[in-house]
């Protein structure tokens, strides 16, 4: 009877060893590095030097570290992926990459590079390993800069709201401030609301860091992550309202040169740190209030 059980048992498929995969895949890894080098150089000189993309390098480094850690731990379920699916993902990714590179669309180029990387990971580790470790891939998506027209569409109403809220709050305490569109007038000065002050930049960076914080500290829960993201949005907007108010006060009391100099960026960093503290505080409160089924494991 023991022989029958052994004979009828399904053969055990050996798990892929990560070190062997890296050794066997070194030509593909070098090819990917050759694709990634010019893209990272372009991102470093364009998207990442702007405040809207300042979170990109942090997301890239922490995301790669997290992905390597998770896939190393998942070697027990790693199996070679279906060739046709890996090939399809590679074809689509290279198409986006080439189109973005030729026509200077860094968003499509970065998206295509991301697709090529996913295709390689799928071929090496299989669909189930990637599905189980979906968060690092999702998190790395925050390093892809959104197209300019998307930023313009999203920041336009936020700039209007932030400037109006800041203007009304300060005019209520006697500061001579008025607004026309996204231009704020205070005393003899006029301030033009930039995308950096709309809340969009803080929103993307705060969302990425908050999700990483939840994943590392508490584990992953889609519903809980969505709930936290819903709180990140008003926190980011509130922080930018405070930032605009500080810039208006600096301009009113110390002049435009002071407000637009070192203190302009200092206020942004300090308020971003305050936003993070508020996110952590909200998380500490929510984890005690939400239903147990919603809590991260």
126 near 79, Cβ under 8 Å? yes
CA distances from 103 to 32, 89, 91, 110, 288 (A): 20, 21, 18, 13, 50
Burial of 107 (0-12, 13-18, 19+ CB in 10 A): middle
For residue 142, which of 91, 203, 184 has the smallest C-alpha distance? Answer: 203
For residue 107, which of 39, 19, 163 has the smallest C-alpha distance? Answer: 39
Residues belonging to the active site: 197, 243
**Composition of the chain by helix, strand, coil, percent to 5:** 75, 5, 20
Tokens, residue 119: 């295709």
């Amino acid at each position: 009877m023991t022989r029958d059980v052994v004979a009828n048992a399904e053969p055990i498929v050996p798990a892929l060893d990560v070190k062997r995969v890296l050794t066997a895949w070194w030509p593909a890894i070098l090819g990917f590095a050759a694709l990634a080098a010019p893209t990272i150089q372009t991102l470093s000189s364009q998207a990442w030097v702007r405040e809207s993309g300042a979170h990109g390098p942090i997301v890239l480094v922490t995301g790669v570290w997290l992905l390597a850690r998770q896939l190393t731990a998942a070697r027990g379920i790693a199996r070679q992926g279906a060739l046709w699916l890996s090939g399809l993902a590679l074809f689509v990714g290279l198409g986006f990459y080439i189109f973005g590179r030729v026509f200077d669309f860094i968003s499509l180029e970065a998206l295509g590079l991301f697709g090529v990387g996913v295709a390689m990971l799928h071929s090496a580790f299989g669909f189930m390993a990637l599905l189980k470790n979906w968060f690092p891939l999702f998190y790395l998506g925050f390093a892809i800069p959104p197209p300019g027209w998307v930023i313009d569409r999203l920041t336009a109403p936020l700039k209007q709201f932030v400037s109006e809220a800041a203007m009304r709050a300060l005019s209520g305490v006697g500061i001579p401030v008025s607004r026309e569109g996204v231009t704020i007038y205070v005393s003899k000065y006029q301030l033009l609301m930039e995308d950096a002050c709309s809340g969009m930049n803080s929103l993307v960076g705060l969302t990425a860091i908050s999700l990483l914080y939840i994943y590392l500290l508490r584990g992953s829960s889609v519903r809980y992550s969505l709930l936290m993201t819903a709180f990140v949005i008003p926190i980011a907007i509130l922080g930018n309202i405070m930032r605009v108010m500080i810039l208006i006060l600096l301009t009113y009391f110390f002049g435009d040169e002071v407000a637009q100099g070192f203190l302009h960026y200092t206020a942004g960093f300090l308020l971003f740190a305050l936003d993070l503290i508020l996110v952590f505080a909200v998380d500490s409160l929510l984890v005690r209030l939400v239903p147990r089924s919603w809590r991260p494991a």
